[in-house]
Structure formats: structure tokens, C-alpha cells
Amino acid sequence: HFRGNQSSVCAVLVLSAARLIVPLGGWPLRCLLTQRSSVQETVLQLLALSSHPSLLPDPGQLLLNSNSFTVIRDDAFAGLFHLEYLFIEGNKIETISRNAFRGLRDLTHLSLANNHLKALPRDVFSDLDSLIELDLRGNKFECDCKAKWLFLWLKMTNSTVSDVLCIGPAEYQDKKLNDVTSFDYECTTTDFVVHQILPYQSVSVDTFNSKNDVFVAIAQPSMENCMVLEWDHIEMNFRSYDNITGQSIVGCKAVLVGDQVFVVVAQLFGGSHIYKFDESWTKFVKFQDIEVSRISKPNDIELFEIDSEMFFVIADSSKAGLSTVYKWNNKGFYSYQSLHEWFRDTDAEFLDIDGKSYLILSSRSQVPIILQWNKASKKFVPHSEIPNMEDVLAVKSFRIQDDLYITLTRFIGDSRVMKWNSKQFVEIQALPSRGAMTLQPFSFKNNYYLALGSDYTFSQIYQWDGEKKIFRLFKEIYVQAPRSFTAVSTDRRDFFFASSFKGNTQIFEHIIIDLSL
């Protein structure tokens, strides 16, 4: 078919495949003729190969076995549009470029067996629409984050693929890539990035859902407001929805009763009040007052439900204060039980332990006490205390899987993380917390965090180490005089509000970072 110098034909056939396949050294392809030819001499001949496919004995097959290739670069097989079988076995290939196989849409069989491959670039096979069989035997892959895409591709492809053997890391050595459970833990990390700055101070943030929308209530004592924000699904940020005015507002707590939405507004002066959302006015209007004689210096509002009945408790931090439980009676909220007085309570936390209801009260003048709900009297009665923990500012609870934990915040000394051991809370970790006013647990999916706010230094975010069963320092953020941290989720996005007593309120977004990219 082709009449001419046989050595020239060999050079064309040899280096047509070697156009962008870089040899380690020596002649890159075995040939019936042994004459050597330089790459420089043959590149010009190769440029004409795609327009003269008849030069190939079989334009549907290309065998490049048992050579010394080390690299396959982008567009190595440009022009071979009808190639169906490509075998590059028994070489020394260590690197394949992302677009090495670009244009080979008719390729059905590809063999890269018995090379030195440890990794493949993401989506290197994306152009191989007709691929039926892929052979990767004889290579030992590093089954780390770089192999995550291949792991997922193997599960989705309709092609028959040989076993992919792992040489590392140590836990996967000599295992098959298909046998790896998941790369999600090893190959993802998280971060908190600023999403939105609210140009005002605040001391507390609460979130609630109503009619498939997400709202946030922010207490602003200096502006004498309880600002209600809603999530804007179009602009993808939080915007003003309503504004409840008052005097020295320190807390705004949403209470949902059926389809009714109430907000308990705790004030340092002028008494505290409850507002109800009026749909005809599309705003919150005053619903009832809370007795001034009972609550004089509210410090925390805790909402809870027992036997399908709705309650909330206000912790009073004044010397003559009377922390009080309020109950919904289908018409309004009325005082139900006074807990104790003279102890300057700082916080209240409701717990459910083994089907029993408890309240923990922290105080300035005594260690935290635990009250248990008595089903007969339907009142809280003293149960126990948490010893050696004086002057606790706040107590918060959280669960990791089936385990119950609490955090105890202290301004002076170390704050504590404690775990319930079926009889009592025992300490598992102490966190240096000089100047701390809040230690808030929160979570997004399977990521568990603690936010430790400090008046003297950067606030610290700790992340739960599932193996060591402790929290490890994850990130520092700067918030002036932080007073609360609140997790808010909407539109498959997760946010973290940081209130500031002296600066702007900040909204951070919790993002997932794929380390395999």
C-alpha cells in the first residue's frame, strides 16, 4: 500500500504515538526496523498523520507495550478519532495529564497495566464515552484524597474496570480501592467565613421557623430594639422583617404554639413583655405583660415542653430576683412556678435524661443546681448539684450520638465540658476561658463545635475529635465582646451568628472544603 523507504514508515508509525508521549530514554517503540530517528526529525512527519490515517496498518488499534514511556501529555492522541483499542502496557509511566485522552470518543478498550502509576488526574477518562474495558492492573495507587474522584467514578461507571490496588496510606495498603468505605472524613474539612456584617451591637440571637421561612430575632439593648430578620431566598442574605421596640432589651425568645408565633421580650427596665405575630398587620404586636414583681433583671429565657405542654423559664440575676417558670394555658402565658430567690441566677438549661425532665440553674452565688420534674406534683423539685463549679455564667447542653454533655461557662478560671455517666455529670475537659461570657455548643450535620467567646482576646472555635473524645482548637475569630453564638440553617446552607456587645454583629457561613479537588 505504501511504497517508499521502510525506515521512514517506521519513524512515522513509531513517533506518531510518541508525539506527546515522553520516553525515559532510547528508542520509544519496538519496530521491525531498528533505525533510530530523532524526535525533531519526525515531528514534522507526525503533523500529517491525522490527515493520512491510511498510513496506520489498523487505525482502530494502537499498541505501545514494553517501552520506556514515563509521561503521557495532553492531546497525545490528537487526530486518532477512530481509535478503539489503546494498549500502553509494561512501560514506566508515572504521570498522565488531565487531557491525555481528549478526543478518543470511539475508544472502547484502554490498558495502562503494569506501569508506575500512583495517581490519576481528576476526570482523565471523561472524554471516553464509548469505554467498555479499562485495565489498571500492575499499578499501585496512593489511595489518599487524590484518589477520591477515582473511587467515586468506579462506583458510577458502566465500564468493566480491573481491580485498583492501594499501596498506601498504611491503613489501605494492599487493599482494593473499591473496598475503601469512604473518603468523606479524610478528604473534607470545614471553615467559617464571614457572610454578612450587621452594623449594630447585640447581646443575644434566637432563630425560629414559620411557614417554611427562617427568621432570626436579635436583642439590641443599646438601640432598644428586638430586630427580626428573615432569610432572603433570592439575595441569599438576612434582611430586616420587623422591629419590636422596648427598653434595654436583653433577650428575644421565639415561642411557637401551633401556628401561632410569640416572642418573649426580656427587658432590664419597664418590665418584660410577650408579642404575638399578627398576620393581618404582618408584624408583631404586644400580647401580654410579664409581672414586674417577679422578674426584675432577666438574664436568660429557656423554652421547653413537657407532656405536650409548653413552658418557658426566665432566669433572674438580681439579688431579689425570682427565677420563674411560665406555662401556656391556651389563652396566654402565666406564672406557674417560682424556683428560688436570692441566688442571682445567670442561666437555665432544660434536659431530658432517660425520659425524665430536668432543669439546671447556674448562679452567681452558688454552684449549679439540678431540678427534676415531679410527675405527681407537676413541679420541679431539687435533685442534686454540680460541685466545685462556683460562679458559672451559663450552662448549655448538647448530644453527640447517644451521649449527653453540658458546658459550664466561667469568666474567671477554666470553663468545663462535662458528660453524663448515667448517675452524674463528670468532667472530661477544661478550657482556659479568662474573660469568657459564653461557651456555646453547636453542630452542622456530623460536625460538632464549641464557640468560646472572650472579652480579652480572640474568640475560639473548637471542633470535636471523635477518636480522642475531646474538643480541639479549630479556628480563632475576632468578635468584640461576644455575648452569644447561634447556629442557623436555611436553603441547605449553615450559618453562625456572633453577637457583639461593643461592635458589629457578624454572620459566618460554615463551608465544606473538599481536599481532593
Q: What is the arrangement of strands in the sheet containing 298-306, beginning at the earlier edge strand?
A: 298-306, 309-316, 322-328, 333-341
Contacts of 402 (CB under 8 A, 6+ apart): none
Query: Helix or strand or coil: residue 261?
Result: strand
Domain residue spans of the chain: 6-179
Distance CA 484, CA 172 (A): 43
Q: What are phi and psi of 296, to 5 degrees?
A: -115, -30
CA distances (Å), origin 221, targets 46, 204, 395, 458: 78, 10, 22, 23
Contacts of 250 (CB under 8 A, 6+ apart): 203, 204, 219, 221, 266, 267, 268, 298, 299
Distance CA 416, CA 406 (A): 8
Q: Which pLDDT score, from 0 to 100, does residue 28 have? A: 35
Strand partners, 335: 326
Distance CA 378, CA 382 (A): 13
Distance CA 273, CA 294 (A): 13
Distance CA 247, CA 186 (A): 50
Distance CA 12, CA 108 (A): 24
CATH topology of domain 6-179: 3.80.10
Strand partners, 450: 441, 462
Q: Which pLDDT score, from 0 to 100, does residue 432 have? A: 96
- Which residue, among 360, 486, 481, has the nearest Cα to 416 in the 3D structure? 360
Q: Which pLDDT score, from 0 to 100, does residue 279 have? A: 92
What cell does 196 get? 454578612
Residues counted in the chain: 517
Q: What is the arrangement of strands in the sheet containing 272-278, beginning at the earlier edge strand?
A: 249-257, 260-267, 272-278, 283-290
What cell does 169 get? 496510606
Q: Which pLDDT score, from 0 to 100, does residue 359 have? A: 98
Other Cβ atoms closer than 10 A to 259? 9
Distance CA 213, CA 366 (A): 41
Q: Which pLDDT score, from 0 to 100, does residue 124 have? A: 97
Contacts of 8 (CB under 8 A, 6+ apart): 45
CA distances (Å), origin 213, targets 6, 208, 216: 77, 9, 10
Cis peptide before 169 (omega within 30 of 0): yes
Give me the residues of the chain with pLDDT under 50, please.
1-56
Contacts of 181 (CB under 8 A, 6+ apart): none
Q: Is-contact 367 384, C-beta < 8 A?
A: no
Query: Helix or strand or coil: residue 11?
Result: helix
Strand partners, 227: 218, 243
Q: Which pLDDT score, from 0 to 100, does residue 58 have? A: 58
